[in-house]
Structure 1
């Protein structure tokens, strides 16, 4: 169930980012100023806050986990600080925070940008997997190791989607279970950065249309480095009308909100939300929404459909609708890419019923077959 189903809106704030006090004197630098803004944003109604660790003189302290820890610990004295740091490629500070949480607060969200962590991979439709590509400086894996750390540390990736290419990777990764659902997606829009989505409601509608309905997700719309307050407003309004979340903050767009504080930006967003008869989601709402992202270690059997062979007969999802469903064109999608003992036999039945033999039920090569699969698989199986 999405947050909007309960009349809630995911409201995030980007408090400082790479903005400067020359652009807006209220941009927080250092741990004390940043913690103050985190507290004020939460008190004014924000669901979550993203911050950059920065030194007192404004320089970025990208991977300084001690500054990150100080910010959240200070905020935790006054509020429930559902806050997470930014990154510049390395996530070492995130691992350090998760392994030694700030006093009074645990880490839930963590930054993840496919553009930074996923190389120029290829997609193999026949086998429903990403392929390794070779470059002059060596081989690049198609699977970001960071995703395993997220799972092991109980973190939910906040997925930054800057364009349709990023979104394509995200939907394919969700399809084969690399990204666990529900997905926490941030759609970035900018009229300055050409690598970002164009800030147009029609573009937003297009991106939403590219996310299959069977993918459980929350979307937050992020106007970033914008030169027009009116276009920001248009995006926020359109996002709310489409049932999406929004992100505000002087860390994202300091130049067009030169006199605003982050708290004032939150007040502005809350007004947009409440006039629609909705309310901002709380920190507990968000934790509950993404609690189902926890991974059951018994779910080791992978189910894969070859979309090139599927003819849309529908017998697979007649046998196991918990695993197989039809997309908008009637072809099979695997809505639960990994199954446990309870659904293993159903996965086999659905695969065996396919007239085109388009479905495989298999075990990872490096994982011993669990007891419930060993009698059939002996370590791996293909149906």
Structure 2
């Protein structure tokens, strides 16, 4: 009997017995938590936190138990204290929430995020005709994308949806892409060839510096979206008043937004929309404009010059330009000029201006 205890006693007195493994003591530490969650895994219907240990680290998906953080609010970044457990290899195996150290609300206008969602796992479920549940945790209105989302989920496609988050609510801003899981990597990430219709007018980009951006759509039934690229479509020179059907090679960033667009096939006979039958609304930054000269306001960043005299708008526009106001105007292309018809919105406070623009159903893009 005594000899049977010898191996066990040896392992108790010697270090490094491999069959026993090493024990790691739980540790209380600080963890940074991002302002939104992601699908834990392509085969999981639940959502996981995005975490990192310090600000210089990349965010990672915490696809391991993270319990107790019931006070999390979408739209807030946190520094929290957690009790971290470790596996036999010394890697994090679970987090148990202890306390919030700091909370920072993000600005939704600057912090849009894209989620890749594998609908086969049940991460997207309909609540009614206009509302969907995300991970059985938070709901969002599908807006103009309801039919597209339903069709993609019914087909068990993977989707890229863009959202903003604020005060515990998420707002869907765009359906970036949807495709079968087999085709998703080719169709929705990296480079892919797409067909775009490019509008016969442009609008202010809303970037750090004044610039005009193209408007494009994928299908004729879609609304136009703003292509917020400083270089627009490489190798393509648009003419105001012409609507183009193009083939473009687009490149998506890791976040799902378009980072580059290069012309692949031009339109040899674009639609001519340079007449009063095709009026449009567009946004300009007053700080980039100068007062009218003989009834004409010079455009910027390649925009056509604007004739303000036909509807006696010059005086008002000069005042708004002098005050560096944002402008939502209506007009149409006539020859090489835009004949202005109406000043729809103007304001020197961007937030107030955006509220006015949001009421215009023809302005389907945000910036």
- The normalised TM-score by structure 2 is 0.26
Q: Which has a greater percent of helix? A: 1
Higher relative contact order (CA 8 A, sep 6+): 1
> Which has the greater radius of gyration?
2
- The normalised TM-score by structure 1 is 0.26
